[in-house]
A = this chain, B = another copy of it.
Amino acid sequence: MLPPTLLAMTIDVVPFAICAERLAVLLARHSAGWRLPGGSIGADEDLDAAARRHLVEQTELGEVYLEQLYTFGQPDRDPGQRTVAVAYYALVPAGRPPVDALPIADRVRWASVDALPALTLDHGEIVALAHRRLAAKLAYSTIALQLMPERFTLSELQAVHETILGEPLDKRNFRKRILALDCIEVTGDMARRGGHRPARLYRAKRPGQVDFIK
């Protein structure tokens, strides 16, 4: 058998968050436009670790849910040199320090998935695939909790689902289903925001953990 080929490899990360009721991706400024955060893999670095490192270095988003998505290796995907990209997606909880307040604010930007600027290489496709995967996972896992702040209302959680799926959900059925999953619990505190009845605040029972359902 032939020895393994040496190939240029990168990591690309699709960092998702909910911004202003929209599913948004954090993009990094690049000479030729915008691209996904990412970069090289250390000689002795795990792929997951490399993804996390690039995310922290370029976006200051640590401690987020991270999952491998797909590996893109078409020879012509990078017109410069042949590069294989291992793509990941990350879920950033709402309530993290907003990018505008960070020193890196001029290097990155949140962009809504349905109004993305042109991205370098095949990064547009990578985002599209990540979005589909995320939407599919809503149906059979508790993954949406990874996009929520520590404490949240049921209406907020429902809005996140609706944003990702792109369709409205029935309030009573949604609540029934979520509570039956036994993945969140009441905190006892109330969110009083706006001129209306205060809402109960919930928290994840097992923060950081994604459960599969059914």
Q: What's the nearest-Cβ distance from chain B to residue A61, in Å?
A: 17
Q: Is B9 touching A40 in the complex (CB atoms < 8 A)?
A: no
- Measured CA separation A86–B7 after assembly (Å): 12
- Measured CA separation A71–B72 after assembly (Å): 10
Please judge, given known A-B contacts A4-B10, A6-B7, whether A46 and B73 are in contact too, CB under 8 Å: yes
Q: How many protomers of this protein does the assembly include?
A: 2
A163 at the interface (CB under 8 A from B): no
In chain A between 81 and 107, which residues have their CB closer than 8 angstroms to a CB of chain B?
A: 81-84, 86
**Residue from B39, B73, B84 in contact with A2 in the complex, judged by beta carbons closer than 8 Å:** B39
**Residue from B10, B68, B73, B81 in contact with A47 in the complex, judged by beta carbons closer than 8 Å:** B73
In chain A between 1 and 46, which residues have their CB closer than 8 angstroms to a CB of chain B?
A: 1-10, 39-46
- Measured CA separation A44–B81 after assembly (Å): 10
Question: For A43, what are the chain B residues with a Cβ–Cβ distance below 8 Å?
Answer: 5, 75, 82
Question: For A7, what are the chain B residues with a Cβ–Cβ distance below 8 Å?
Answer: 6-7, 9, 41
Question: For A46, what are the chain B residues with a Cβ–Cβ distance below 8 Å?
Answer: 73-75
Please judge, given known A-B contacts A9-B84, A84-B9, whether A75 and B45 are in contact too, CB under 8 Å: yes
Residue on B nearest A73 in the bound complex, by CB: B47
- Measured CA separation A40–B75 after assembly (Å): 14
Question: For A8, what are the chain B residues with a Cβ–Cβ distance below 8 Å?
Answer: 3-6
- Measured CA separation A75–B86 after assembly (Å): 15
Q: Is B86 touching A39 in the complex (CB atoms < 8 A)?
A: no
Q: A7-B41, A47-B73, A71-B86 are in contact. List 12 more A-B contacts (CB 8 A).
A: A2-B40, A3-B8, A4-B83, A5-B40, A5-B42, A43-B75, A44-B75, A44-B82, A46-B74, A68-B70, A71-B71, A84-B86
